[in-house]
Amino acid sequence: MNYKDLGFRPFYKNFSIMLNNDNIMDIVADLDVDEVFDGVLVYGYVDHEAGFTFEILSLALQGDEGGFKFYDLPNDITYKLRADAVEECECLFSEDVFDEYMELFKDKISSLEIYEENENVDKSRRFNFLDPFRHEECIDDVQVVLLKDGLQPEQVWVRIEDLGDKVIIGKLLNEPDQDFGYHLHEKVAFFVYTDEDGNQHLLCDMNPSVKLRAEDLADGRMLCNAIDVFARETTQEHFIDILELVRDSYIWIPCNTILGQLDEEALLKMADEADNLDDLVGTTFTSQQDIRLVPDLMKMDDKIYFPVFTSVEEMGDAAKNHSQLQKHFLEAIKMACACEEDVAGILINPFSSGMVIEKKVWNIVENMKSRIVEDDE
């Protein structure tokens, strides 16, 4: 049994003994080791950039009865094997010693936590349907076909960075030969497509679904309708439709008005001097300092969201209690990023349809090309 035959799964976050090959011997050649050894005890993990890696934990000497004796390695040095260096190396597994090895080598294994990616990348490594498209060693890298009208389908390498709603999010690892409008290291969203013969493909459709004019989006109803459609049928096509619409939309942000100290004191003085607060209605107040409009964030299920609305009417009573700030959605993303709190997503129309554009897809929205056309196009 070896990595080339088995693939990465049996080795991922697991122990195995790899019998010696030239690459193993080269790595331990500089060690002052008197004992003859037959292999190395390793632990498999994924380096997101460098690919599948084996951390050497100990030298292994096989006894007459088949068991192994282990020899300690220096704790201040790490010894690593990339998968391609040992892909044909014979290996042995022993499931009944997993807990024992975890305790014995816990310090070395805990040091590998720096290579952990977000939980969605780890989740994607368990997707068997992605295996036919994976790189043999860099398992987070998959082959995706780019599609755009007027261009030939083109296969590129994409590194998985996150999971979206019905889509997978990744970074382009090579510059496309044709002009798809996206370039090296930009993020794209792709999905699994099953053709009529049952064959699966990873596709990134870069065609805008329909051209728009600014007035189509002005009242927010088109975006609301797209959100309603997605709620009824949560497909990747409908999700991409929403991303394309928010990319070109103006939205309303409820804000709290923050006055400077001098202005606040002046208003309090006016209130104290008035016989009745109603007498102040229609009174002109000129501020002496800058007035800040601070977005009113929402907390739901222990997460912080940046609420926006497709229209003032959608804000309901919140419009009476807040200042309303109209901004382009791309500007709203910048405002959400600038918040002191860790914003999990932009929440569209929280009092009705309630659609979250998660933080992990903001970069995709920012990189999307506008679908707005001029009147003479």
pLDDT (average), residues 222-245: 87
Q: Is residue 243 located within the same domain as residue 296?
A: yes
**Does 275 reside within a domain?**
no
| Domain end residue (candidates: 115, 131, 148) | 115
**Does 41 reside within a domain?**
yes
Q: Is residue 222 located within the same domain as residue 358?
A: yes
Confidence check: pLDDT of 91 > 60: yes
234 vs 307: which has the higher pLDDT: 307
Confidence check: pLDDT of 177 > 90: yes
- Quote the domain boundaries for residue 12: 3-115
pLDDT (average), residues 17-29: 81
Q: Is residue 24 located within the same domain as residue 164?
A: no
The H-assigned helical ranges of 218-328 are 221-232, 236-247, 261-273, 312-315, 318-321
pLDDT (average), residues 111-134: 93
Query: What is the reported pLDDT for 355?
Result: 92
| Domain end residue (candidates: 115, 148, 182) | 115
**Does 272 reside within a domain?**
no
pLDDT (average), residues 66-70: 74
The percent of residues in the chain predicted with pLDDT above 70, rounded, is 92
Q: Is residue 88 located within the same domain as residue 11?
A: yes
| Domain end residue (candidates: 71, 95, 115) | 115
**Does 220 reside within a domain?**
yes
**Does 77 reside within a domain?**
yes
**Does 268 reside within a domain?**
no
Query: What is the reported pLDDT for 280?
Result: 67
Query: What is the reported pLDDT for 37?
Result: 78
**Does 273 reside within a domain?**
no
Band of residue 116 on the pLDDT scale cut at 50, 70, 90: very high
308-364 per-position pLDDT tens digit: 999 999 988 887 888 889 999 999 999 999 999 999 999 999 998 889 999 988 988
**Does 78 reside within a domain?**
yes
Q: Which range (4-13, 71-80, 157-166) has the least confidence?
A: 71-80
Q: What are phi and psi of 352, to 5 degrees?
A: -135, -100
Q: Is residue 131 located within the same domain as residue 110?
A: no
The percent of residues in the chain predicted with pLDDT above 90, rounded, is 44
Query: What is the reported pLDDT for 128?
Result: 94
Query: What is the reported pLDDT for 10?
Result: 94
Q: Which amino acid is at 341?
A: E
Contact 326/251 with Cβ under 8 angstroms? yes
User: Cα angle at 38 between 32 and 39, to 5 degrees?
Assistant: 85
Q: Is residue 159 located within the same domain as residue 231?
A: no
pTM for the full predicted model: 0.67
Q: Is residue 55 located within the same domain as residue 83?
A: yes
Q: Is residue 70 located within the same domain as residue 139?
A: no
In this structure, what token pair is assigned to residue 165? 């709603």
Q: Is residue 43 located within the same domain as residue 170?
A: no
Concatenating the DSSP letter of every residue in 78-131 gives --EEEGGGSTT--EE--GGGHHHHHHHTHHHHHGGGGG---HHHHHHTT-GGGG
For the chain, the domain total comes to 3
Q: Is residue 201 located within the same domain as residue 334?
A: no
Confidence check: pLDDT of 66 > 70: no
Q: Is residue 109 located within the same domain as residue 198?
A: no
pLDDT (average), residues 248-255: 93
Q: Is residue 229 located within the same domain as residue 362?
A: yes
198 vs 276: which has the higher pLDDT: 198
